[in-house]
Structure 1
Amino acid sequence: MEVKNETIKQLAEKSFNTVFRTTTEAPGFMHLVFSEELTPYQFRCILTDLKKELSALTVSKFNKKLDYHWLVRFDQQENTPFHVDNAADQSILMLGYEPSEIKSELQIADYHAYAETYKTPEDYYSTFSPVFKAEDDLLKPFTSKISTANKNKYSIVILNNSSPKPNVDTLGVFHKARILNKDLSKSRIVNSMVLNVVEADKITEYEIKENRFLNNNLISK
């Protein structure tokens, strides 16, 4: 989705049902591309504001909220397997891509749709691993590809990082990164935010984590 004049609240509303899906009719992810000129700090503010709006919607629909599992900024050019990130059983991943000349893509695979190819989906869920260990070709019919590199634009991918557990309200997806033209002389900066879905009355200390993320220019390798 190309972001034009939408407010952060409008972006959250457009993303919510797609990401916090309860059936495989929704893809489980949203891609937002920003055409306006931004600074890295302004972009990080968009990420944290988007988290707040999504959390408010989560409270409204599920009586739960979003709590930071981690939020980091890294410069990395490594391929990954299909996986869900290490987090709570129900969680959301936001990846904020800063402009880069490194061509890359994010592949997102709907493991719930894949589970429907089994005799029963539970046959797959009972052996579920956070890292997909079979051949990637098995997931190919259920995989979407997103170009995550643009030398002029910032973009965000929000995806459902949940595991298939009985206590989970929404349906997760796998994701994997592919670097298409690795060049360590150039940067590929990604802001990674994992958000656990927790009880609405849980006491959380999010302000310290947010302030550190917003006001620190540290980039991990």
Structure 2
Amino acid sequence: MKTQEINIKPLAKQCFKKVFRTTTEAPGFMHLVFDKKQLTPYQFRSIMIDLKKELSALNVSKFNKKLSYHWLVRFDQQVNTPFHVDNAADQSILLLGYEPSDIESELQLADYHKYANKAYNTQEDYFNRFTPIFKEDDALLKPFTSKIKSYDNTHYSIVIINNSNPKSNLETLGLFHKAVILNKDLSKSRIVNSMVLNVVSTDEITEDEKKESIFLNSTVISK
């Protein structure tokens, strides 16, 4: 969805409903688009942090668990990936923040819960053999895959994804994701801000404020 006004609380409520899903009726992801003229890279990263805080508050309200950073990183990358879930806790949320770029790329999201329901007698039959990287033919996931244009030289965008592994005791349902670079050009940049959030006990001691400060103020861009 394109946002004309950046009002975090209502945005977060919409995202929470779609991403923190308990059934496959919800997509498990949300795509937010922001006009380049509205933002600087610093302000864009600030929005990601504000969304994290509000999503954490909503998760505490519903599930009595908060969100804490597994990692925060900026990288300049033009690499295709397989369908996968990022390495994190069994229950986690991924925010990918794309800065304006001329590099054509797309993000594909595959609902492995729907796939399990269709391809196996029971979901547990698939979940018992689940691996963080999908090692079978991608064509099997095609009916359950959504594609997002993850490049635009006039807009910033954030994709929020349920990155959880399938476990019987988890509250929400995850997705696979993969990056596809459509026109690689190493003379140009494709900067992505990656934020992985673990779902943890409200009592757990974290260093989130320290990590946020480094993320906001660092000029380091990983390759």
TM-score (norm 2): 0.98
The number of equivalent residue pairs is: 221
Q: 1:3 is paired with a residue of what secondary structure?
A: coil
Give the drift of 1:166.
Answer: 2.2
Q: 2:86 is paired with a residue of what secondary structure?
A: coil
Residue of structure 2 in register with 1:24 after alignment: 24
Give the 5 Å matches for 1:101-140: 101-117=102-118, 118-140=120-142
Counterparts of 1:171 and 1:185, CA distance in 2: 39
Counterparts of 1:173 and 1:218, CA distance in 2: 29
Residue of structure 1 in register with 2:148 after alignment: 146
Residue of structure 1 in register with 2:13 after alignment: 13
Residue of structure 1 in register with 2:98 after alignment: 97
* Letter in structure 2 aligned against 1:66: L
Counterparts of 2:12 and 2:49, CA distance in 1: 12
Counterparts of 2:97 and 2:147, CA distance in 1: 16
Give the drift of 1:6.
Answer: 4.3
Q: 2:216 is paired with a residue of what secondary structure?
A: helix
Give the drift of 1:205.
Answer: 1.1
Deviations 1:186-217 (A, max 9, x none): 00000000000001121111111000000111
* Letter in structure 1 aligned against 2:25: E
What's the RMSD between the two structures over aligned residues? 0.7
Counterparts of 2:78 and 2:38, CA distance in 1: 24
* Letter in structure 2 aligned against 1:34: F
Counterparts of 1:120 and 1:79, CA distance in 2: 31
Counterparts of 2:6 and 2:122, CA distance in 1: 41
CA contact (8 A) 1:37 1:153 kept: no
Counterparts of 1:217 and 1:46, CA distance in 2: 17
Residue of structure 1 in register with 2:45 after alignment: 44
Residue of structure 1 in register with 2:60 after alignment: 59
Counterparts of 1:37 and 1:56, CA distance in 2: 26
Give the drift of 1:167.
Answer: 2.6
Counterparts of 2:207 and 2:48, CA distance in 1: 17
Q: 1:88 is paired with a residue of what secondary structure?
A: coil
Q: Does 1:204 align with 2:206?
A: yes
Deviations 1:74-125 (A, max 9, x none): 0000000000000000000000000000000000000000000211111000
Residue of structure 2 in register with 1:70 after alignment: 71
Unpaired runs of 5+ residues, structure 2, are none
Percent identity over paired residues? 72
Q: Does 1:162 align with 2:168?
A: no
Counterparts of 1:6 and 1:16, CA distance in 2: 16
Counterparts of 1:167 and 1:71, CA distance in 2: 27
Counterparts of 1:205 and 1:154, CA distance in 2: 27
Q: Greater shift after overlay, 203-212 or 133-142?
A: 203-212
Q: 1:94 is paired with a residue of what secondary structure?
A: strand
